[in-house]
Homo-oligomer: A and B are copies of this chain.
Amino acid sequence: MHNVSQEDYLKRILLLEQAEPGQSVSMGALAGSLSVAPASVTGMVKTLVRRNWVDYEPYVGVRLTDEGRGQAMRVLRRHRLIELFLVRTLDMDWSLVHKEAEAIEHVVSDDLLERIDAFLGYPTVDPHGDPIPDARLRITSNDSECLADCEAGRRLCVARIIDQDSDFLQYIEKVGLKPGTNLKVVSRDDGGQVMEVRLQRGGSTMLAFTAASRVLVESRD
């Protein structure tokens, strides 16, 4: 990405806030996440402050204002509807639509987005399992938990993959952990991120699964 728009900054701040609730977002995190120099972030944040979209405390970080959060949610909505639209119409791999949506999300008109929303039947989650804000920017709450926190023996259903990284998504695809997949935790390594699960679908496959903290699941009984 070479030129990052104000919308990109807002969306990224929202995602980073969600990843670390209650914390303000540091300039460094933003810069790294957007592949931009820290100095560029300082400059852009000043613009966002002028627009009343973020509160900013020098040397500490930024937080979205209500207005800024609204803007960010709008971008997120566009992003996720476009992803789903591409998956549905062109049968594209859900690990590949992210970059396309990232570009298109900034140029679709409200009218077009409305039509896409209607075409898709007003969905509440996108292909990654991430929630899609509705036209009034409300999110259908889901009470999922982190796969890393689930005890051995539990039966679960994959609800959501918290990651936009293409490599990770392709890995997820390969091992068959799409949203909707049923699975059972066979054992887990409490040390942290390595976990062994058995998939229920198509016979019992064993697999070691790293980065379980990036997968959200729902109880299945």
A-B contacts, 19 listed (Cβ < 8 Å): A89-B89, A89-B119, A90-B112, A90-B115, A90-B116, A90-B119, A92-B112, A99-B109, A100-B108, A100-B109, A100-B112, A103-B107, A103-B108, A103-B109, A104-B104, A104-B107, A104-B108, A106-B107, A107-B107
Residues of B within 8 A of A90 (CB): 112, 115-116, 119
For the complex of A and B, the 10 pairs showing the least CB-CB separation, nearest first, are A103-B107, A90-B115, A89-B89, A100-B112, A90-B119, A104-B107, A104-B104, A107-B107, A100-B109, A92-B115
**What's the number of copies of this chain in the assembled complex?**
2
Residues of B within 8 A of A107 (CB): 103-104, 106-107
The digit string for A120-160, where 1 denotes a CB below 8 A from any CB of B, is 00000000000000000000000000000000000000000
CB nearest to A115 among chain B residues = B90
The contact size tier of chain A is 10 to 19
Establish whether residues A86 and B104, one from each chain, have CB atoms under 8 Å apart when the complex forms: no
Q: A residues within 8 Å of B by Cβ?
A: 86, 89-90, 92, 99-100, 103-104, 106-109, 112, 115-116, 119
Since A86-B112, A92-B112, A103-B107 are in contact, a sample of 7 more A-B pairs with Cβ atoms closer than 8 Å, ordered by chain A residue number, is: A90-B112, A100-B108, A103-B108, A103-B109, A104-B104, A104-B108, A107-B107
Residues of B within 8 A of A112 (CB): 86, 90, 92, 100
